[in-house]
Amino acid sequence: MSEKKAFELTKKEEDFSRWFDEVLFKASILDERYPVKGLYVWLPYGYAIMENIMSVMERLLRETGHKRVYFPSIVPESTLSREFRFIKGFENTIYWITQVGLRKLDERLALRPTSEAIMYEVLSRWIKSYSDLPLRIYQIVPAYRYETKATRPMLRVREITFFKEAHTFHVTFEEAVEQVKLGVDIYKKFYDELLVPYIVVKTPPWDTFPGARYNYDLVTILPDGKALELGSVINFGDLFAKAYDLQYTDRDGKKKYVHTTSFGVSERSLASVIAIHGDNRGLVLPPKISPIKVVIVPIPFKGFEKEINNYASKVYSLVSSSYTCELDLIEDEKPGYKFYKWEMKGVPVRLEVGKSEVEEGSVTVFRRDIMERTRVSEEELLPYLEDLFEDMEEKMREKARRYFESMIVYVEDVESLKSSMQNKLVSFPWCGEKGCALKVEELTGYSMIGYEEDSLSGKSKGCIVCGKEAPHLAWMGRSY
């Protein structure tokens, strides 16, 4: 039990938290052994996966008119505190620079916890006219938040390494409302491509982002029963614009405040992929984001090494014309060892070529998701792989959907709420009153994740607490 081989993991269903930590290290995603709490080193393989994930995101942003920018990571206190709600929301988590060398600074400088303040200060000089709007920009940068709860690699960190934050600027509140819908839509497409199931909820008013009018979250649930926020889409209205003097001149010649939104995701996106698709042999990566789509493992045979290696090289040239592919020629590792190694890294397809494949001009195709082998002739290989990747996506999506459904439950009365609350996301009809939500929090020990606005209108038996008309579907659970 305690003595584990290099590619052996704690069982996911027995201890998810340990499984997760082990898989991050053994699949070469992160090195957790960094001397500062809450910060982690990204290894080449993990970084490559993140780059692929972010390029999915960038494609979606590009298609919807968002442009990439870079704003510095340091912001003066005076800028940060122009909107008091904002600074108040982050006051316990900001890293402050107070000194440079031996000299104490006159004004404290902060490392960005997020970039609204940093950007708006500058944007007030960019935006002059209605014709400058809408403006949609984003950046992918580290962000710093001193998490006060226990840190967890990739899930609760003090340096968000891949913080994709988009910020948009609009003439009217209505346009900002539309932008929020677009943001939610982008995130839905994004997580659909990552094969991660989610719910979209509106955050209760008492829990919205500091300075926001309202915001939507995409939320999933990890195998330990804890809810994970995957992304947030925020409408600030003109609240921030007033604090940062973001005004434009409208067609009628009058000065008006800009309406702004922002939406962000992070490496939690990868965390959710790993947690939901991974198994007891390691990662199972969706083909779309796997840095290596196909790995070729030659199976040596005494006196036949040359033929096998030549054939493996031939298969490699064939496959690498269409897919990123790796030929594993390491001589000191036996085939069985290599199998475990590549399974840990979650490579979707492994091709095995040995004596028998050479003789019949075929390839043994192994798929990681359901761990099955098929033998395919060399000519049929490419079309076979094309279908295989498609089928793999479908099966993984379906499996994740079934998993998600097993982790959520809908109840209509307090008794079933109490009895069905073990490690699941619980949904129930809710009238919209804070008091009723707090009552449920008190009864269950869960916290409110959000609600689906008006999704139950005229369909529910009434609020689970007060019995009044309940138009909303509320979601509660334990949370990261």
Query: Which residues are near RNA by CB under 7 A?
Result: 2-8, 17, 21, 33, 36-38, 148, 150-152, 281, 299-302, 305, 331, 334-337, 339-341, 343, 352-357, 364, 366, 371, 373, 445
Residue whose pair of structure tokens reads 């909303």 in the numeric block: 472
Greatest Cα-to-Cα distance within the chain, rounded to the nearest angstrom = 86
User: Looking at beta carbons only, is 15 or 132 nearer to RNA?
Assistant: 15
Choice between 18 and 181, CB closer to RNA: 18
Q: What is the nearest approach in angstroms of RNA to the Cβ of residue 20?
A: 9
Tell me whether the omega of the peptide bond preceding residue 134 falls within 30 degrees of 0, making it cis: yes
Q: Which CB sits closer to RNA, 17 or 247? A: 17
Rounded to a whole number of angstroms, the minimum distance from the CB of residue 421 to RNA is 12
Residue number, 76 or 210, with CB nearest to RNA:
210
Residue with tokens 């449920």: 440
Q: How far out from the chain centre does Cα 65 lie?
A: 21
In this complex, which beta carbon is closest to RNA, that of residue 335 or of residue 467?
335
* Contact indicator for 37, 354 with CB cutoff of 8 Å: no
CB of 338 vs RNA, minimal distance in Å: 9
Strands 259-265 and 159-170: antiparallel
Question: Residue 163 forms beta bridges with which residues?
Answer: 141
Closest distance of CB 10 from RNA, Å = 9
Please identify, using beta-carbon distances, which residue of 92 and 457 lies nearer to RNA: 92
With respect to RNA, which residue has the nearer C-beta, 173 or 337?
337
Residue with Cβ nearer RNA (409 or 443): 443
Residue 334 CB, shortest distance to RNA, in Å, is 4
HSE-CB at 186 with a 13 A cutoff on CA atoms is: 28
**Nearest in space to 183 (alpha carbons), one of 241, 262, 120, 270:** 262
Q: Give least dist CB 172 to RNA, A.
A: 40
CB of 323 to RNA, least distance (A): 19
DSSP letters spanning 63-129: HTT-EE----SEEEHHHHTTSHHHHHHHTTT--EEEEETTEEEEEEEEE-SSSHHHHHHHHHHH--B
Cβ proximity to RNA, 173 vs 340, nearer residue: 340
Answer yes or no: are the C-beta atoms of 221 and 407 closer than 8 Å.
Answer: yes
CB of 335: closest distance to RNA in angstroms? 4
Q: List the helix and strand counts (H, then E) for the chain.
A: 14, 23
The Cβ of residue 321 has, within 10 Å, a number of other Cβ atoms equal to 9
Residue 306 CB coordination number (10 Å): 8
Shortest reach from residue 380's CB to RNA, in Å:
17
Q: What is the CA radius of gyration of the chain?
A: 26
